[in-house]
Amino acid sequence: MAHPLYRGAVIAGVAESDEIGDVPNKSSLQLHAEAAMNALADAGIDKSEVDGIATAGVSTMQIAEYLGITPKYTDGTAVGGSSFVIHVGHALEAIADGRASVVLITHGQAHLRGWNDTRNQSQPRGGGAPDPSNLAGQYEAPYGVIGAPQAYSLACMRHMSQYGTTKAQLAEIAVQTRQWAAMNPKAMMHSKETHPNGGPITVDDVLNSRLISYPFNILDCCLVTDAGGATVVVSPERAQDLKKQPVWVLGIGEAHDHAMISQMPDLTRTPAQYSGPAAMGMAGVTHDDIDLCMIYDSFTYTVLVTLESLGFCKPGEGGAFVSGGRLGPGGALPTNTNGGGLSYTHPGMYGMFLLLEATRQLRGECGQRQVPDCKVALVNGTGGSLSSTGTLVLGSD
C-alpha cells in the first residue's frame, strides 16, 4: 500500500534570480525576491495565492514582509544548505494537513561584493573570543577549523585512510561535473567565455590545482557565488491548472546526527543513511529506478560519501563507483547535470538549486544536457559540516 503522503504535493515552479554568479549590485533580499517572482511566473501562480512561506538564512517574517505576503504556514527550518530540500517535505506535510495550498520557498545569498547580509555571521572572522553559545567557536575555531573546507577535508581524509580512496578518484567527480557544466549556459564554469578558468578540466588539472586544505585542492571545492533561487510547492488540487507539467513529490526524508565535524559519529557516513531510505521507502523506489541524482557537491567528497550513504554502492566502494564516467554525460547514473556547486553556482547554501535542476530534468526542459526519459529523480541536500541531510524522490507523470 502506498504511503499516505505519496504524491501529496507538486513542485509547480522553479527559478533562479535574474542573474547568478558574480552579481555585484544586489542584496541577498533582492535575490530572494527576484527568484520568488520568477518561480511564481514559472508556475503561472499569482503572489496573492501564496499561503505558506519557507526560507533559511533570513527570517521568514522578513521575506514575507518584503514580498507583501501574509502566510498561514511558516517554516524557518535552518540546518544549512539542505534546508530548502527539507522545506519541500515540510510543505508537503502542511499541504496534506490542509494548512496551505501554495508554499513559496526562497533563497538568496550575496557576498562577493560586500552585500554580505546573511552569511555565516556566527563564525569568528578575526581573533576575538567566540560567542560561548557557539560551541564550534569554543572547541574547533581555536584550531583553525573555521569554514567548510577545513571540516570536510578532515572527513575526507578519514575515508581515504579507512578505505584507500584516492585523490584521483575524488578528482573524477570534479571532471565529470565540469562536463555537465559545459552544457549549461548558466554555469559559471561553462566555458572560457563565462569564466577565465571555465571549460573542460582533467584529473591532473584537479590534482595540480592550488591546495586549500589537504586532501582538497581548489578544484575539489565548490564555487563561491552570488545567487537566489525559489521553488513553489502546491497541493495536487491546485496542480490541476499549472503553466507547466507537474513534478510530483514521491518521497521525503530528513536527518541530522551532529553539528561540529569533531562530533560526527562516523566521518564516512552522512545522515543520508537515514533520510535516503525514508524518502525511497515512501516513494516505493529502488536504486535502479533512479534516472537522475542531484547530490549536494560542496566538495568532491560530499558526492562520494553521499552516494555511499544512500546505498548506491557499499561503504568504501565510492571511489571505484564514481570512476569511469558513471556520473557524467552518457554515464549510467547521471548526477549533478547542472554542473553542480562545483561548476554551476554555489552561494553558500546550495540546496535550493538541486530542486531547480531536478524539476527541469523531469519536465524535459534541459536541452543539450537533458537526461533521456527522465522520470524519477533523487535529490539529496547536505548542510552544516556533513551534519544535516534532506532527501527527496521526485517524479514526472
CB of 188 vs other proteins, minimal distance in Å:
20
- Nearest residue (CB) to other proteins, 103 versus 219: 219
Helix (H, G, I), strand (E, B) or coil at 249: strand
> Shortest Cβ distance from residue 83 to other proteins (Å)?
24
For the record, the C-alpha cell of 47 comes out as 503572489
Contact between residue 198 and residue 320 where contact means Cβ atoms under 8 Å apart: no
Give the span between the Cα atoms of 356 and 376, in whole angstroms.
14
CB of 80 to other proteins, least distance (A): 18
Q: How far is the CB of 374 from other proteins (least distance, A)?
A: 37
CA distances from 138 to 90, 152, 260 (A): 33, 19, 11
Structural contact between residues 220 and 299, judged by C-beta atoms closer than 8 angstroms: yes
Query: Applying CB under 8 A, which residues contact other proteins?
Result: 124-132, 135, 137-147, 149-150, 153-158, 161-162, 210-216, 260-263, 267
Nearer to other proteins, 52 or 348 (CB): 348
Residue 175's SS3 state is helix
Residue 145 beta carbon to other proteins: minimum distance, rounded to whole angstroms: 5
For other proteins, give the closer residue by CB, 84 or 299: 299
Closer residue to other proteins in complex, CB, 302/335: 302
Least distance (Å) from other proteins to the CB of residue 165? Answer: 12
In angstroms, give the least distance from the CB of 304 to other proteins: 15
Cα-Cα-Cα-Cα dihedral of 72, 276, 303, 89, to 10°? -10
How is residue 397 annotated by DSSP?
A: -
Grid cell, residue 239, equals 496542480
Between 137 and 390, CB nearer to other proteins:
137
Identity of the residue, 179 or 213, whose beta carbon is nearer to other proteins in the bound complex = 213
Q: Which is nearer to other proteins, 300 or 338 (CB)?
A: 300
Calculate ∠ Cα 325-254-374, nearest 5°: 40
Q: For residue 247, give every residue at least 6 positions away whose Cβ sits within 8 Å of its Cβ, in sequence order, or none.
A: 10, 11, 12, 358, 359, 362, 363, 394, 395, 396
